[in-house]
Structure formats: structure tokens, C-alpha cells
Amino acid sequence: MTMEKRGGSLSHGSNSSLHNLVDGEADTLEYRIKTVDKDSKSKVVSLWHDISLVHIDPVSELATPYLNFVCEIPKFSRKKYEIATDEEGNPIKQDSKKGQLREFKKGDIFFNYGCFPVRLKVKFGIIAVYVCIFCN
């Protein structure tokens, strides 16, 4: 399987073609981590829609037996980050409630928290969703 062409742009199968940009000051409601194409440094890449579920080897451009994972909260941290699904480009932001930034209250988490990229394709009016659960 090679990388698939989507809407005029390539679906990113590995992080080798991606670059993260920080926008805003840390520990504020405006802080965002945006992902862009490494070559153009300006073309925004959605962590929600533009990353393939299956990891693509950047050299051979062939599918590997591995899955891509978007880490929203790194292990041994307590700030609650999430993909902003309602913002253009779907950057990562710190979750908030009633205007206050959220953190885990009982200490740091001991695992990486995140999601598998979502790319839904509709064929014949049926939406196929694959759910993968891994226990470590």
C-alpha cells in the first residue's frame, strides 16, 4: 500500500514529513501545538484527518504492521491536552472548563494518552469504523 492521495494532498503515513509549531504562550488558553508539512512549513496538517491509521515506511512508502498514534498527553505529565476537533487544522490544546485550564488532580499519569487518527470514508451510505484497543 502506498500513501493515498486525499483532496489534493498526501495523507501522512509517518512523522518524517511533519513538523510541530508552538503558537501562543504555554499555560494559557491560547496555547496550541500545530502540525505542518515539513517541506512547506506553512501547509497545516490535521492530526485528526490527514494522518493515516497505518504507519507508512518513509523510505519504501509501503505499509508497515504498525499503527500511527497521536499522543495528546505524554506519560508522567498531568496537563490535560486534547485535539481541538472544532478548530481549523485540529491543533493540540490544553483542555479547559469554565475558562480554567485542566490538569489531573491526583498526580501524573503513567501512560501515554491519545488517539488513533480518524479517517472516515462513506461508501454506499455505510460508515465503517475500526476500533483498536491495546492493553500495555
d(CA 18, CA 6): 17
Task: Give per-residue pLDDT as tens, 1-15.
Answer: 333 433 333 456 667
Task: Provide the whole-model pTM.
Answer: 0.72
pLDDT of residue 136: 40
pLDDT value for 92: 93
CB 99 within 8 A of CB 29: yes
* pLDDT tens readout for residues 77-121: 999 999 998 998 899 999 999 999 999 888 898 988 888 886 655
Task: Please give the backbone phi and psi of residue 29, each rounded to the nearest 5 degrees, phi first.
Answer: -65, -20
**8 A C-beta contact, residue 52 and residue 12:** yes
